[in-house]
């Protein structure tokens, strides 16, 4: 899974600095910077920009991999086919549902786990951290299989362990309906990626200056007030980064759906739709159009987050 990083925020120049001229030293530094980052930048272009551009190019063709002779240019028709198909909109809806539910739950849980990791006794801290991080180290396909086996009506233990819950009994078929399937898919995603969010939040927690906490304590702030007025505002940037990464990730959900339902009962995500057109149907043109639209959606999410991120920073500085 690729991860996007935020673009560097422009530095504000000191008022006294001369306009338009760069010192020799900073010019040399800039050159060194390019020399160091250049190769990585080129590799990035090669492995990300090239496939993206090729997908955009292919999306303008009617092109089936098994029938290359009949490849023909058809402009934006593929996009029209995708956007006018209810299946696309249903997949977008399902993807959004999964994204919103998993990210919201993960944020709350992840925050709790980050607090536990910070506050845990020094002696057990390494053990706690390792234990919390284990799910993130599990390969997604493996975790999807594990959850599927757990909830499967024949092999699973969930039905017999949780039979005391209303609506659960030995014959509950979790993968037989949309709601229950999505429930298990979301559960697997949450279990798997909460450690990631808690790790990012842990970094944010560590950045909250201890002096502010002390000052608040001296002023008689309660535990809750310190959390709401000191801790959270000071780690807003970390929260936004964690949210951005996880939202981008969650929007591309594929593995769990592929393993658990294979898209049955209307549980298809946008990635799954792209997979089906490109890999299963080998309709490269149509599949590329779906992929390009998925890419645009991800870019849009990143854009919205980064915009929102800036506003939040300003608010944090100005109001509190």
Interface residue list for other proteins (CB under 8 A): 62, 65-68, 81-82, 85, 87-88, 153-154, 170-173, 175-176, 261-265, 273, 276-277, 279-283, 286, 290
Q: Which residues on neighbouring strands pair with residue 64, listed in sequence order?
A: 283
Q: Least distance (Å) from other proteins to the CB of residue 1? A: 21
Residue keyed to tokens 């009949």: 70
Minimum CB separation from other proteins for residue 102, in Å? 23
CB of 61 or CB of 309, closer to other proteins: 61
Cβ neighbors of 120 (< 8 A, separation 6 or more) are 128
Report in angstroms how near the CB of residue 236 gets to other proteins at its nearest: 40
Tell me the closest approach of the beta carbon of residue 146 to other proteins, in angstroms: 17
Nearer to other proteins, 143 or 278 (CB): 278
Least distance (Å) between residue 266 CB and other proteins: 10
Cα separation, 31 vs 39, in Å, equals 13
User: CA 129: distance to chain centroid?
Assistant: 21
Nearer to other proteins, 248 or 259 (CB): 259
* Ranges assigned E (strand) in the chain: 61-62, 72-73
Q: How far is CA 162 from CA 175, 190, 253, in A?
A: 16, 19, 27
Phi and psi torsions of 31, nearest 5° = -65, -45
- Minimum CB–partner distance for residue 300 and other proteins (Å): 21
Q: Which is nearer to other proteins, 182 or 273 (CB)?
A: 273
* 275 Rama class: left (phi>0) / alpha (psi -120 to 50) / beta: alpha
Nearer to other proteins, 115 or 153 (CB): 153
Distance CA 57, CA 293 (A): 13
Instruction: Please report how close the Cβ of residue 96 comes to other proteins at its closest, in angstroms.
Output: 18
Using DSSP's 3-state secondary structure scheme, residue 9 falls into coil
Identify which of residues 144 and 273 has a Cβ nearer to other proteins in the complex: 273
**Which residue do the tokens 């490849």 mark?**
71
- C-beta of residue 276 within 8 angstroms of C-beta of residue 297: no
State the DSSP code for 278. I
Q: Which is nearer to other proteins, 85 or 214 (CB)?
A: 85
């Amino acid at each position: 899974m690729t991860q996007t990083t935020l673009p560097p925020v422009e530095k504000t120049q000191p008022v006294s600095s001369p306009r338009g001229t760069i010192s020799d030293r900073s010019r040399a530094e800039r050159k060194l910077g390019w020399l160091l980052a250049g190769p990585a930048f080129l590799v990035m272009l090669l492995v990300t920009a090239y496939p993206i551009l090729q997908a955009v190019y292919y999306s303008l063709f009617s092109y089936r991999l098994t029938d290359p002779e009949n490849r023909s240019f058809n402009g934006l028709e593929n996009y029209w086919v995708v956007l006018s198909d209810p299946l696309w909109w249903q997949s977008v809806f399902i993807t959004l549902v999964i994204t919103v539910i998993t990210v919201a739950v993960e944020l709350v849980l992840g925050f709790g786990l980050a607090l536990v990791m910070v506050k845990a006794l020094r002696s057990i801290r390494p053990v706690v951290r390792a234990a919390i991080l284990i799910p993130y180290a599990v390969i997604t396909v493996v975790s999807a299989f594990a959850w599927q086996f757990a909830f499967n009506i024949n092999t699973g233990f969930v039905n017999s362990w949780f039979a005391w819950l209303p609506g659960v009994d030995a014959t509950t078929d979790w993968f037989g309906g949309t709601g229950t399937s999505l429930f298990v898919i979301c559960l697997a995603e949450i279990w798997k990626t909460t450690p990631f969010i808690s790790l990012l939040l842990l970094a944010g927690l560590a950045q909250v200056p201890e002096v502010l906490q002390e000052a608040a304590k001296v002023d008689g702030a309660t535990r809750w007030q310190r959390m709401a007025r000191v801790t959270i505002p000071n780690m807003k940037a970390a929260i936004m980064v964690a949210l951005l990464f996880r939202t981008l990730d969650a929007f591309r959900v594929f593995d769990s759906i592929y393993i658990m339902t294979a898209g049955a009962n209307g549980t298809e995500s946008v990635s799954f739709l792209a997979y089906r057109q490109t890999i299963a149907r080998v309709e490269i043109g149509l599949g590329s159009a779906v992929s390009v639209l998925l890419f645009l959606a991800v870019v849009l999410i990143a854009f919205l987050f980064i915009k929102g991120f800036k506003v939040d920073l300003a608010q944090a500085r100005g109001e509190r």
